[in-house]
Amino acid sequence: MNVEFQLLDCDYTTINNKAIVRFFGKTKSGKSVCVFFKGQQPYFYISTKTPLKVEKFVKEKFKNIVERIETVYRYDPIGYKKDKSQLSKLILTDPSQVPIVRDTLQKEKLTDEIYEADILFKYRVMADLGISGFKWIEAEGQSVRTGTVKADIVLEATNLKENASLENCDLKYMSIDIETISEEGVPDPKKNIIGMISISFFPKFDSEDSIVLVSKLFSKNNKSVKVFPDEKAMLQEFLKILESYDPDAIIGYNINNFDFPYILTRLRENNLSLMLGRCNQKPSSSRKIGSYNKSSLTGRIIVDAYELVKESIRKGNLRLKRLGLGDVSRELLNDTKIDVSHSEIFGHWHGDVNQISKLAEYARKDSELALRLILERGFLDKFFELSKVSGLLLQDCLDGGEAQRVENLLLREFNKNDFVLPCKPAETSSTEVQDLKGALVLEPKTGLHTGNIVYLDFKSMYPSIFIAYNICPTTTLTGKQYNVETITTPYKTRFVAKNVREGIMPQILKRLIDERDKVRAEERAASDRNVRRLLGAKQVALKIMTNAFYGYTGYVRARLYVLEIANTITGCGRYLINKTKEIIEDKLGQDVVYGDTDSIMVKTSDSAIEDAYNTGKKLENVINKELEGIVQMKIEKIFKSLLILSKKRYVGLAYEKFNGDWKEEMVMKGIETVRRDWCDAATKTLFEVLNILLKEQNPKRALNYIKDFLQKLERNEIPIEDLVITKSISKSIAAYKGIQPHVELVKKMRKRNGSAPGVGDRVSFVIVKGMQLLSERAEDPDYVKNNKIPIDSKYYVENQILPPLERVFEVIGISKIELLGIGRQTLLKEIFGNSRVSSNGNSLEASLDNFDGFACVKCDKSYRRIPLIGKCFDCSGEIVFVSSNQKSRHVESPV
Amino acid sequence: MEKNDILKEFLNQGLQVDSAALDILMDNKKLFEEVLKIGGKGLPTVITKEFLSSLSPAHEKISVEKLSEIVKYRYMFIKKLLLDKMSGNVISINKISEKTKDFSVIGLVSTRNGNITLEDATGKDNFKADDESSKNIVEDEVVGLICSRKDGTNHINEIIFPDIPLRRSFTKGELARKAIFISGTLDKNTYDKLVDKIKIEHNATVFILGGTIPEGELKKFTSNTPYTTHVYTSTLQNHPVSVEIDTVKLLFLNGHDLDYYRKIWTDFDTLIINLLKKRNFHPTITPQSYDNRFLVETVPDIIIITDAEDTRDLNYKGTTILTMESIDKKPIYWLINLQTRETFKTVLS
């Protein structure tokens, strides 16, 4: 029998002390598969000066554990050595015994070095069989009947083979959200029951998109709201649905840290089964690792939408101010949660039918939103491909870091080339990175650059350096002088030449870069949207993997942490940037305004973008000729205008050529545009100012815009919604030490009408005018509106609006004083160089000492005071001051 | 200069400093020393940015736009209040046409010569009012008019003033604190009497408005009145001044600020209440008063008017209004229990 499936998970079980590997997956037709594979044994290597003594010791001590010891020859992983070393390969029966044997040998001082004794057995087997996570596998074998696993097809394979199909199978997604019932504070899973579990499905389950399970008989049962007499009965139904629907992925928003561990505890408290995965013998678990929980569910994956959103923000792919499900959904799905605050849940639960129904719909919406975030925003696409490229299982790709992905790739390549990998450094060793020298950042020419600026960057600079200088732990020359051909890098480190031994890392990187080029070309050529999406995700995954190598060599917890290599890479990078600057400035006479790590910005004298592009092309050609064989430079974009604030902080209006057309985009680096403690007005004003500066290249208008905004703020004309600041209550009010605005407001609200946000809620507040401390002047926006309490505009100006803007204006020569409108007008004139003149050509700029009234410049009509419309009622002419027949736009008065 | 050092220095002298002035002083040590040199006598109760500006009369160019913003601001502020009170068909002035029948408008009074000319951001128009109803309207104030149009003339049926809210919460101090208000300079004799009186008042804040106590007596004053927590003593420059104690909002006015309106309302009580109804103690704009200082944006709980004709109390929709003559004319001061809002007129005898 043959079965083709896409790999989702892999683990092993032991029968009679022998390991059986289990591959869980999904067929194209949507059937769940579990493939057993026998015959794989765990092993590791040691180098020892006394192999016979080791053999004797092992035979005595680990008679039934170590099956045999083989003498093998492998290359050392770090430092070039012409010949292989003799190693002892210990082959065991049970993978769980590996750490015991390893530690004992170490304790007995029988080894010089131990290699690969900490490779997870599933990855050892996958590497040996050449199988990667989430790839398609063809299994050949016999169908078996077993009660140990839950799968549509169970097979004992005799042969496994990977296939390169691009498409992914249709996974079944089940999104869950629980509502716990606690009167106050953070719910305690040992005490507080789960009131509701909402479950959303894709595809549908029993023709329903979602079901809410309620542990209270508050109304009649229906298909989408099922009621139960107590929590236990509800949890039993949940288990039934899980088994019946048999999802591949369980989704939730903050599911790893809340919903999943909470459900497990409640199942335990109710003496119910914890077998939520596809194995009937292995209970699901949630382990705390540092500050987060790692969930484990055999045969399925757990997807935490919250973690993925956070990751996207960290990587700069998303700009979001708040991370609550409601806020994120509003931004990404144009939809939001049902309006029930966290502190209201308890009240609703004990309320009438309508309130409980509302709570059920609220819960339903939460699970729906989490599901939609994952499916509609394609958050998993990248991880599917990363799993395929790195070979890691999908769950580990979602949970783990880059080092784990790189190491899995290295394990396969090292073993293929007869190298062994060292074990990971001990946890207790210092995490301090010593002497790792960074990249070169050229001193920027700050200010607003309004000519066309060409942005050039080196294509995969650090990976190219690995390849160009054959940099790898396996090629580095450490101390001993070998009579071999070597390459000396600009950083003065030496590696053996490619023809002596091509490094493993350069080999992998070359393959990844070539593959990415190929995939990008295919992506551009693809007409099918779905194929383009898959190829897009693949090229992103390849890029992530390619760029992870430099960081890996400088990561102290890496198996192949070689500081000298990390320093060589950055050293070469610095050399190349300096060299490029030299070529551009000295040889080509162009002006470099900024450069950072692998990119350089050159100011051209071209007024048309196309001309600037051609200039950039010329630069590209010259640089590439000079640096041939090392790195390749290419034009990335043209900045029509560029505002450089400082090193690593700039914003520009960029044009990128895309299929022959220019695509406009605002590029921001290092400039904070969203912060959780900013009100919306702060973000909006910053964006608007940058827009005006870059698109209109008009600092004066930007200044006027801000002045106008500040005046509106002063006059209470800014919608209060734009001034709202939010902060969440993370613990009980009594537990807060010190005075914080949102906490003080909650106290005030409780005193006022009893109802106030509680633990887990976000508190929205505005700062109002008053003589008290700032923290005592936080007020509920609705209360402010209803009672027409004036906003403390000064607070907003000083703490919200101006801080992000000050630096922007400062680099274009406008001080804070001028932003506030208290600077002298002459200074503004100096900056903008345009003095205003009256319509008839006479200057109205000479100030008067005082004034009697006003008059229209055009029709001379006199006014006692300025008309409300600010201009002449009769002819719409400009109004000016009048004093004894003299007119002016200004009067001088003491400040 | 550290913020706390400045605040401490002023508090020792019984003075307050507002946040804008504090910012300036933090960056300008010289100015801070200059202020200290002036000492208690010459300093206002609350040191403001305006007061500091008066010490260093640098000149600033004031533009027409800036003054225009002031006018627009007061229009927008009062308009918001009026919109809440006028539920009817409020239209812009340029929308009044031959077809318009019953309508309401909100605008700034341009002129009031029998008829009223009202302007808004779209234009201006004339409105016919009877003498009785228009007598309380002053130039440049913002009002709402409920009108009907007949034979091409806009007839005013009712005039709506912004006023202060009727049912607002009655603010009381959280602590059993008392406030004592004295207008004018105390001579040695009156001062000694005052100290004797105040000795029995626990936890009081003493405001000596528009005056001082005998030189060098401040420290003695504090030590002689062990339960008195604060003494603010100085001239009321740049009035009006708003102060908040224990959430009770106080507004200090000088009686002479209201002189402009004494021609219109001879009865002082009517004058104060009418201006309070306009939410502006100086609605008429003159070249000397191009500002919104007198705009009542926050409704005060207590208004203290010094240099008044007599010493009396008044209550309007929950706001306590206390007027007082200078203590050298009549040895009387006001004491308010901020927690109960009871007022006591106390004679120093």
Q: What is the dihedral of CA A780, A781, A782, A787, to 10 degrees?
A: 90
Q: Are A466 and A472 in contact (CB under 8 A)?
A: yes
Over residues A133-140, mean pLDDT? 95
Q: What is the pLDDT of residues A142-175, one digit of tens each?
A: 999 888 999 999 999 999 999 888 789 999 999 9
Q: What is the pLDDT of residues A802-815, one digit of tens each?
A: 888 888 888 887 77
Q: What is the pLDDT of residues A101-115, one digit of tens each?
A: 999 999 999 999 999
Q: What is the pLDDT of residues A287-315, one digit of tens each?
A: 887 767 888 899 999 999 999 998 888 88
Q: What is the pLDDT of residues A801-852, one digit of tens each?
A: 888 888 888 888 777 767 776 533 323 223 222 223 233 334 577 778 778 8
Asked if the model's pLDDT at residue A481 lies above 80, the reply is no
Specify the DSSP class assigned to residue A868: T
d(CA A655, CA A694): 12
Q: How far is B54 from chain A, CA to nearest CA, in Å?
A: 7
Over residues A525-538, mean pLDDT? 91
Pairing of strands B302-306, B248-254: parallel
How far is C-alpha A881 from the geometric centre of its chain's CA atoms?
Answer: 58
Query: Which CATH class, in words, describes the domain spanning B178-347?
Result: alpha beta
How far is C-alpha A203 from the geometric centre of its chain's CA atoms?
Answer: 28
Residue of B28, B59, B64, B293 to mutate, testing the A interface (most A Cβ within 10 Å of its Cβ): B64
Spatial neighbors of A454 by CB under 8 A, at least 6 apart, are A601, A602, A604, A612, A613, A615, A616, A619, A635, A638, A639
For A111-188, strand residue ranges (E) read: 113-115, 136-143, 153-163, 173-180
Nearest CA in chain A to B74: A715
Residue-range domains of chain A with CATH: 2-163 (3.30.342.10), 173-377 (3.30.420.10), 424-666 (3.90.1600.10), 720-790 (1.10.132.60), 835-895 (no CATH)
B-chain residues near A787 (CB < 8 A) = 168
Quote the pLDDT of residue A450. 85
Quote the pLDDT of residue A190. 93
Complex ipTM value? 0.78
Cα-based distances in Å from A486 to A169, A469, A500, A502, A529 = 48, 9, 8, 12, 48
Residue of A716, A744, A788, A868 to mutate, testing the B interface (most B Cβ within 10 Å of its Cβ): A868
- Any idea which residue has 């003493």 for tokens? B206
The reply to whether domains B65-160 and B178-347 share a CATH topology is no
- A854 with B64: Cβ contact below 8 A: yes
Q: How far is B289 from chain A, CA to nearest CA, in Å?
A: 11
Over residues A546-574, mean pLDDT? 92
Q: How far is A446 from chain B, CA to nearest CA, in Å?
A: 27
d(CA A544, CA A549): 9
- B60 with A769: Cβ contact below 8 A: no
What CATH code would you report for B65-160? 2.40.50.200
Q: What is the pLDDT of residues A843-888, one digit of tens each?
A: 577 778 778 888 888 888 888 889 998 888 888 888 998 887 788 8
B-chain residues near A748 (CB < 8 A) = none
Average per-residue pLDDT for chain A: 88
Q: Which helix (H) or strand (E) holds B336?
A: strand B332-337
Enumerate long-range contacts of B219-225, CB under 8 Å, 24 or more apart.
B221/B191, B221/B195, B224/B195, B224/B199, B225/B195, B225/B198, B225/B199, B225/B201
Q: What is the pLDDT of residues B269-292, one digit of tens each?
A: 999 999 999 999 999 988 777 778
Q: Which residue has the higher pLDDT, B135 or A355?
A: A355
Residue of A771, A795, A874 to mutate, testing the B interface (most B Cβ within 10 Å of its Cβ): A771
Residue (of B78, B268, B77) closest to B160 by Cα position: B78
Q: Which helix (H) or strand (E) holds A779?
A: strand A778-779
What is the side-by-side order of every strand in the sheet holding B319-323? Answer: B241-245, B248-254, B302-306, B319-323, B312-316
Specify the DSSP class assigned to residue A805: H
A-chain residues near B81 (CB < 8 A) = 788
Quote the pLDDT of residue A840. 35
Q: How many residues does chain A have?
A: 895
Q: How far is A801 from chain B, CA to nearest CA, in Å?
A: 17
Quote the pLDDT of residue B11. 73
pLDDT band for position B219 (cuts 50, 70, 90): low
Check: pTM over 0.80? Answer yes or no: no
For A659-774, strand residue ranges (E) read: 661-669, 725-728, 762-767
Between CA A744 and CA A753, with CA A748 as vertex, the angle to 5 degrees is: 150
Q: Are B240 and B252 in contact (CB under 8 A)?
A: yes
Domain ranges across chain B: 3-55, 65-160, 178-347
Asked if the model's pLDDT at residue B211 lies above 70, the reply is no
Cα-based distances in Å from A332 to A213, A327, A374, A379, A422 = 27, 9, 11, 12, 44
Q: Are B67 and B80 in contact (CB under 8 A)?
A: no
In this structure, what token pair is assigned to residue A819? 């932003």
- With an 8 Å Cβ cutoff, the interface of chain A facing chain B consists of 711, 714-717, 769-772, 787-790, 794, 822, 824-825, 847, 850-854, 864-870, 873, 878-881, 889-895
Q: Give me the residue from A789, A878, A892 closest to B61, CB to CB.
A: A892
Q: Are B137 and B116 in contact (CB under 8 A)?
A: yes
Q: What is the pLDDT of residues A402-421, one digit of tens each?
A: 999 999 999 999 999 999 99
In this structure, what token pair is assigned to residue A381? 């696409």
